[in-house]
Structure 1
Amino acid sequence: MVETEISEFGLGPQIHREHTSASRASRGIHRHDGGLSHFADLVQSISNQDAEARYKAEEADNRLPTDDSPEPSQFQGAEGKTIISWEPNDKENPYNWPRWRKILILVTTMTTVLNSTMGSSLPSMAIPYMMKEWGVTSQTQSILPISTFLMGYVFGPIIWGPLSEHIGRRILSTGAFLMLMVWTLGCALAPNWPAMLVFRYLVGVCASAPIAVVTGQLADIYNDSIARGRAMSWFMVFTIFGPLLAPIISGFCSTSIGWRWTFWIGLIFAGATLILVAFLPETYAPVLLTRRARKIRKADPKAQVYSAFELEPHDFKQLVTRVLTRPIRMILTELIVTATCLYLSLVYAIFYMSFQAFPIIFQDVYGLSPGVTGLCYLPIGFGAVLALPIFFTYDNILLNAQARGAPWSKKEEFRRVPLATLGGPLFVISLFWLGWSARSDVPFVVPMLAGIPFGAGFMLIFMALLNYITDAYEIFAASANAAASSCRSLFAVALPFATIPMFDRLGISGACSLLGGLSLCMCAIPFIFIWKGAAIRERSKFCIALKEQKREMERKREEQQRRRARAAASNGMLDDKETV
């Protein structure tokens, strides 16, 4: 039986523990003068504790059994409590679930995010009709139905992402989706403009849950980075299709059966999706082990069987100081997260600026109807789909290089980031193409086709950088993605307010060129990651803490495997002696 003090998991009184010199260096808080250095020390301390607590629980969840254990899925802790863990090849471990079940989860997450992102631009072509009904005349207010939704995207992920790493994925995903339906119903029945804006904000808060949580769900069920990356690529393609389908719905509904039907159709689609969501299983391993432990205790009230997650402190102070601040700490102190957030924020904001820019281009210049203008978004979706074969082709190139032992293929930055070095220039080209071809003497199809490199570039940038931070921050992938989601949504709220004034002052060509120039500057970020990414991660407090805890967990696992091997050899020798 493996004797492990519960306090090793941060669950009880502190006990003496030996640490490597690297661990001492990272855990010690060096004294410097100045408020900024004290803040950095405080953040480092919290990050170290955060990583240590989570990896201790991870170690307990995946502990390898010893041969003399009465049950291979348990080990003995202090105070007579048995701490349960996964058995080798345990069928209830999400990593070992059958392929069909993982695909079903992936399909469910894709449909939920389709609902989520479709809601963001659902009223885009209906806004003039809503304003007319309620007598709203301000052009600034015309942006609010989308901006208030995106404000929910700013604050929602900061709560949903880390909270899903605290209470589990299913209850949070299901609850948020049900509330999304309730507030969408509110939009369909809104009696006035202020009520509509409040309901749109609440829809945005609830709709942001899949954006923050799904990356964690996919990390829960795919332990292989290749399989996880491919699943993420399908998921991200669906994130772009929602905003593209919504203008088509609102464009045709508003001119025929009324703008309120835009929301009724969104609600009908959400109701159909709810069938899949109802069967979405819990994927978070600590919660699943907690359920197993409770089931054992229910069958035998005397049993002192617990999961490591159950015995962790779950007080309000820990929730606020460690869990809910994690995305904010990542944005402020992690250069990888900060740079990724800046690039994704600009790209994402430009995408949402198109909901004001396309009517200017295709309705004002070419005289197209709202419904047909909505169809002009389809090339963006086609470009996003084109990004998938590029993604899979690079995956195969990488796998072949790894099989040959090519040195470059072993570097973390080459796993995904090169896709962004292609996506960035494509995105820039699309903006100059759109801006300089949108003239009355050029057929509308020409600027419309600029959507193909726009969609492909947008998708490749997102696939590369979101996968990169998911791989870099592993067990805190949901928090890292929540940070990226909140930051880009904040930009998507602010920049669209500048769209109409910018296009009025600079013209279509000037405005698109300005956005193209800014995107060109951001193109340098993936190249910097490839050049200096390893050095940046080596100086990252969060990455150092994660790396050390992971190395310590792997060391203990190898030690336990050797112990089992020695025990097996010893038993074999005893059996041979008895035979003699």
Structure 2
Amino acid sequence: MLQSLNSLRETPAGQLLRLLGFRSWLLYPEETPEYQISPPTSSTTDVETQDQTHFEKVVSNIAATEHVPQGPLARRLSQRGVSDVILVTWKENDPEHPRNWSNAKKNWILGVILVYTFVVYCAASIIAPTVEYVKARYNVSDDLASLGLSMYVVGYGIGPMFFSPISEIPWVGRNPPYLISVVLFFIVSIIMAVVDNFPALIVLRFLQGLFGSPALVSGAASLEDIYDMYTAPYGYVWWIGAMYCGPSFGPLLAGYAVVDNWRWAVWEMVIMASIVLILVPFLPETWGPKILLDKARRLRQRSGNPAYMAPSELRDLHFGRTLAEALSKPTEIAIKDPAIGYACIYCAIVYATYYSFFEAFPIVYIEMYGMSLGGLGLIFTALSVGCVVGAAAYTTYMRFYFIPRAKRYHENSGKPIEPEIWLEAGLVGVWGVPAGLLVFAFTARQDIHWIAPTAGIAIWAAFSFAVFQSIVCWLPPTYPRYVASLFASNDFTRSLLAAGFVQFTRPMYIRLGIDRGVSILAGLSFLGVVGHYGLYFYGAKLRARSKFTDKAAP
């Protein structure tokens, strides 16, 4: 019971209950009568553990120099003649550190993030079966009717560019962007369900994608908050799995419902959004600097001593400058650093190919094989089947081979493995991606059973999952300072390309045919073979010459 209350107090719902008069039920350790504040052993205390995140190390190290602009609180202390600072940081094996939380608490956070991610991605494709109904209702062309999908994708590509850097501001944290955006996502979904105007529907779809976007990038950041480098890959498997399965289940959920009324697909979005709206208020805050900042404030209030400060308070973290750097730096890195350029381009090609299936599948399975919308929805689940197979194979490889080997290397050498070693799983996957597309391209014919092209799609999904996962695991240890913003930049690049593919691939398939059209995408996927192997073998040299990598990294 006590542990449940301790977990509840760190959530938005718990904070609301404290404001409503239930504070005595949800006290922090520093607020209890028996809590004793230990006197500092020196004028400045800075306890740094091996679990401390890169952000906290950077803040602590920078704060020790003379040339860093002081934060507002530090300036006020200096003006009042208070020169000693008691730095509030993590203790050894600190139970308040998110990476030291119980497995049950971590699993709850993982579960909420997965549901949130699944719903947002599912809402993207759930309107795909409504295209013909929208065309008839509003008398619009195929291209205009497809805007409902593409503008949603544009929205959730743009959103993380703003929400992600905001979530890393210490006095904001992860939860406010999650909570505010999911409330707006729910409201927009309701409005969309009752509006009967085509331009308004397209604008609402963009806003829906925009407000649903925080989980698509900050979700990975939340998982990194609670897992170390050897357990985070397992969390990423689930998160990327939700990202893959969400769009594939959308057409299935809507395929049978739209037969009676196309708006049922929109109301299904409202139902799913309401589930997320119920869960997110019970999501604990995971951002370490935010947790330390709140603790420092409580200690100042309890002791009356203004010298208690969190590491982030020693820096002048101006919101405008922080946001401007977060928006500009990823673009600069992607242009100047070929490794990041490859990651953005290849992930964009894979992701855009996924969304091109929403234009290819109706041509193949409805027009060629004569399936219904419901049957088409079942075909889309082949992407989920492939994802599950790829995830199972990847997890087995990590659990029984890669992670034990990486830990042994770390123990023997005293340093982590080279970041490029995380790309190993993708060395096989990059060959399977074009292979699966070619199987689909040349077996999607009336004289060949529909199971053959569907198997090609499952092959593509399994191998592309492995490549995507390897890139996600490679990025944080290579670019720890910019990891969240680079995830946002990656999401932005692939979302814009995916939106473009939604608009132009149908005309391409009609003019060139499925075989030649999909073969072009397979040819683009072969670029990943060159890029992935080049990054694996020459990544260390690229890092050595890059001014953006963490030089402390191996």
Q: Unaligned stretches of 5+ in structure 1? A: 7-50, 63-75, 552-580
Contact 2:156 / 2:212 at 8 angstroms: preserved in 1? yes
Given the superposition, is the C-alpha separation of residues 303 and 101 from structure 1 closer, same or farther in structure 2, using an over 3 Å criterion? same
Match for residue 124 of structure 1?
128
Q: What CA distance in whole angstroms lies between the structure 1 residues aligned with 2:238 and 2:465?
A: 10
Q: Is the 8 A contact 2:330 2:482 kept in 1?
A: no
Q: Is this contact kept in 1: 2:420–2:540, CA < 8 A? A: no
Per the TM alignment, residue 323 of structure 1 is displaced from its structure 2 partner at its CA by 3.2
Aligned-pair CA distance for 1:5: 11
Of 301-310 and 342-351, more deviation after overlay is shown by 301-310
Q: CA deviation at 1:311?
A: 3.6
Aligned residue number for residue 157 of structure 1: 160
Which of 457, 472, 476 is equivalent to 1:470?
476
SS of the aligned residue for 2:128 comes to coil
Indicate the SS of the match to 2:230: helix
Q: Does residue 305 of structure 1 match 2:308?
A: yes
Matched ranges for 1:94-493 at <5 A: 94-136=98-140, 138-166=141-169, 167-223=172-228, 225-256=229-260, 258-395=261-398, 396-402=400-406, 411-413=417-419, 415-493=421-499
Matches within 5 A, 1:522-541: 522-541=528-547
Per the alignment, residue 93 of structure 1 pairs with 97
Unaligned runs of 5+ residues in structure 2 are 1-40, 47-52, 65-77
Task: State how far apart, in whole Å, the 2-side matches of 1:209 and 1:264 are.
Answer: 22
SS at structure 2 position matched to 1:376: helix
Q: How many Å separate the matches in 2 of 1:173 and 1:207? A: 9
Query: Can you list the C-alpha shifts for 1:351-392, whole angstroms capped at 9, x where unaligned?
Result: 001001100111111111111111111111011001122212
Query: Which residue type is aligned with residue 222 of structure 1?
Result: Y
Shift in Å at residue 300 of structure 1? Answer: 3.6
Larger-Rg structure: 1
1:103 counterpart letter in structure 2: N
Question: Counterpart of 1:523 in structure 2: which amino acid?
Answer: V
What number of residue pairs does the alignment pair up? 488
1:416-465 deviation digits (Å, cap 9, x = unpaired)? 21221222221111111111111111122221222210210221121111
1:290/1:307 contact within 8 Å kept? yes
Aligned equivalents of 2:332 and 2:299: distance in 1? 38
RMSD of the TM alignment (CA)? 2.7
- Equivalence for 2:58: 56
1:73 equivalent in structure 2? none
CA–CA separation in structure 2 for the residues paired with 1:52 and 1:280: 23
Distance (Å, rounded) in 1 between the aligned partners of 2:307 and 2:419: 45
**Amino acid paired to 2:165:** P
Q: CA deviation at 1:2?
A: 4.6
Counterpart of 1:248, as a letter, is L
Greater mean deviation of Cα atoms: 172-181 or 405-414: 405-414
Rounded Cα–Cα distance in structure 2 between residues aligned with 1:81 and 1:497: 58
CA drift at 1:78: 6.5
Of 456, 475, 495, which residue of structure 1 is paired with 2:501? 495
Q: Contact between 1:4 and 1:78, CA under 8 Å: does it hold in 2?
A: no
Cα separation, 2, equivalents of 1:473 and 1:219? 14
Which range is displaced more, 168-177 or 329-338? Answer: 329-338
TM-superposed CA distance for 1:111, in Å, is 0.6
1:58 to partner: Cα distance: 5.1
How far apart are the structure 2 equivalents of 1:281 and 1:438?
A: 48
In the alignment, is the contact (CA less than 8 A) between 1:162 and 1:323 conserved in 2?
yes
- Contact 1:247/1:374 (8 A) holds in 2: yes
Q: Which amino acid aligns with 1:125?
A: P
8 Å Cα contact 2:165/2:323 also seen in 1: no
Structure 1 CA distance for aligned equivalents of residues 157 and 259 of structure 2: 32
Residue from 518, 522, 547 that aligns with 1:516 = 522
Mapped partners of 1:54, 1:86: distance in 2? 10
Q: Which amino acid aligns with 1:142?
A: A
Task: Give the distance between the partners of 1:210 and 1:121, measured in 2 at CA.
Answer: 17
Q: Which amino acid aligns with 1:98?
A: S
Bigger mean CA offset, 239-248 vs 151-160: 151-160
